């Protein structure tokens, strides 16, 4: 079964899980895919060559942070994000809506846009749907997200419905403001955990015929089961021939749950945040390298991984680096954790193409859970 759109080809489904190819001007991206996060135009501690060795085909940068520092003009003069970062593969930029939402004490929202104070120096700024389109066109990303209104997870129905209405209106304005033909633009479905609001917002956005769609406003503190149910409900409303992106997710378990629900693209700071806290994501579970048992463990970090951290170093050495505060430890764990997440998504793709995704998910979750010796950090 092959379903095609100009930017995406759906190659195979296995239940609701999907394998496809996303086409960008900086190369094709096989899906499902995990995208490392380079919030400020840099994936924390890792150079572009290291990201390429991890298997990364697409990374994420954040328009809000790039706007404030160093500024879109400097990045544009450098040849856009690709030239500025020395990254020759695909880049997705977030609109900055979530970042402004997360700084709610410094911002307010109305139908015109987001009005906020910089978290760096307190200067006042406004993001409108049109200005965010222009910003991301200057940044030169391959995929740009439209501005959306994110309702807090504890918001009442009126606030959620208002955010969905505003998100739809902003998407219409963003679509009219677009000038670059070589940049894909994705709309973002909102609705919090009110299923009818979320489904209606999805249908309304689909009518605008964007090249792709994102699922926003989830995994913000609501129950995980509700997050998964809302993800599945949103996917029900999205066209099969276009890519689906679940924003800010996530952990290995959540990535596999999202794929099962029909999602194609994921991003999260989780792998590098774990690395900075000495937590390794491995095929035998989460390993807390501050645990005393690793002090004289001379085996590879992950027997199923060939990244530099696993091929060249032992658990004992990595544990020593983390205890001693040597930045090499966090760098190597970041490389490994990102490699793990990228390969987890790639393995899911292979399993979908082979018609055995349910078995793959069950096997990976079981192995991951049985070997874990540390609890999961909270998602951010």
Alpha-carbon span 295 to 314, nearest angstrom: 10
Query: Collapsing DSSP states into helix, strand and coil, what is residue 90?
Result: strand
Query: Under a CB-based contact definition with an 8 Å cutoff, are residues 17 and 80 in contact?
Result: no
Q: Which residue has the tokens 């390969």?
A: 343
Give me the sheet containing 27-31, strands edge to edge.
3-5, 8-14, 17-24, 27-31
* 3-state percent breakdown (helix, strand, coil) of the chain, nearest 5: 45, 20, 35
In 3D, which of 326, 322, 327, 302 has the Cα closest to residue 312?
Answer: 302
Enter the DSSP assignment of 201.
Answer: H
Q: Who contacts 153 (Cβ-Cβ below 8 Å, separation ≥6)?
A: 192, 193, 220, 221, 222
The active-site residue out of 14, 142, 148, 267 is: 267
Give the DSSP letter string of 1-41.
--EEETTEEEEEEETTEEEEEEEETTEEEEESEEE-B-TTS
Instruction: Say which of 14, 94, 204, 302 is annotated catalytic.
Output: 94
As a whole number of angstroms, the distance between CA 84 and CA 13 comes to: 38
The helix or strand, by DSSP H or E, that contains position 281, with its residue range, turns out to be strand 279-282
267 in catalytic set: yes
Work out whether strand 27-31 and strand 33-35 pair parallel, antiparallel, or are unpaired.
Answer: unpaired
**252 within 8 A of 270, measured Cβ to Cβ:** no
Distance CA 236, CA 203 (A): 10
Q: Which of 303, 305, 304, 294 is nearest to 329 (CA)?
A: 294
Check if the beta carbon of residue 59 is closer than 8 Å to that of residue 35: yes
| 254 classed as catalytic | no
Phi, psi of 374 (to 5 degrees): -150, 145
Question: Which residues are identified as catalytic?
Answer: 94, 267
């Amino acid at each position: 079964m092959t379903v095609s759109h100009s930017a995406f080809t759906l190659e195979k489904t296995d239940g609701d899980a999907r394998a496809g190819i996303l086409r960008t001007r900086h190369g094709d991206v096989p899906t499902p895919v995990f995208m490392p996060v380079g919030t400020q135009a840099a994936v924390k501690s890792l150079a572009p060559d290291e990201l390429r060795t991890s298997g990364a085909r697409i990374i994420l940068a954040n328009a809000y942070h790039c706007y404030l520092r160093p500024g879109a003009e400097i990045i544009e003069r450098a040849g856009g994000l690709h030239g500025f970062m020395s990254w020759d593969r695909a880049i997705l930029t977030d609109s900055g809506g979530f970042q402004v939402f997360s700084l709610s004490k410094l911002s307010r929202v109305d139908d015109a846009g987001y009005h906020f104070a910089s978290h760096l120096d307190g200067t006042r700024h406004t993001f409108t749907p049109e200005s965010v389109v222009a910003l991301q066109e200057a940044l030169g990303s391959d995929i740009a997200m439209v501005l959306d209104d994110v309702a807090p997870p504890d918001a009442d129905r009126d606030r959620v419905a208002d955010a969905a209405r505003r998100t739809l209106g902003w998407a219409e304005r963003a679509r009219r403001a677009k000038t670059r033909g070589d940049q894909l633009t994705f709309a973002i479905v909102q609705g919090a955990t009110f299923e009818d609001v979320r489904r209606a917002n999805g249908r309304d956005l689909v009518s605008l015929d964007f090249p792709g769609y994102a699922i926003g406003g989830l995994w913000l503190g609501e129950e995980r089961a509700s997050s998964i149910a809302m993800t599945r409900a949103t996917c029900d409303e999205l066209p099969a021939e276009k890519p689906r992106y679940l924003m800010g997710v996530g952990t290995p378990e959540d990535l596999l749950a999202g794929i099962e629900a029909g999602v194609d693209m994921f991003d999260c700071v989780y792998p590098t945040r774990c690395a900075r806290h000495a937590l390794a994501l491995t095929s035998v579970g989460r390993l807390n390298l501050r645990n005393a048992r690793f002090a004289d463990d001379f085996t590879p970090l992950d027997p199923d991984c060939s990244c530099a951290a696993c091929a060249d170093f032992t658990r004992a050495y990595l544990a020593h680096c983390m205890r001693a505060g040597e930045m090499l430890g966090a760098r190597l764990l970041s490389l490994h954790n990102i490699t793990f997440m990228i390969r987890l998504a790639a393995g899911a793709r292979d399993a979908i193409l082979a018609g055995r995704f349910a078995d793959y998910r069950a096997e990976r979750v079981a192995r991951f859970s049985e070997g874990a010796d540390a609890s999961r950090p909270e998602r951010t």
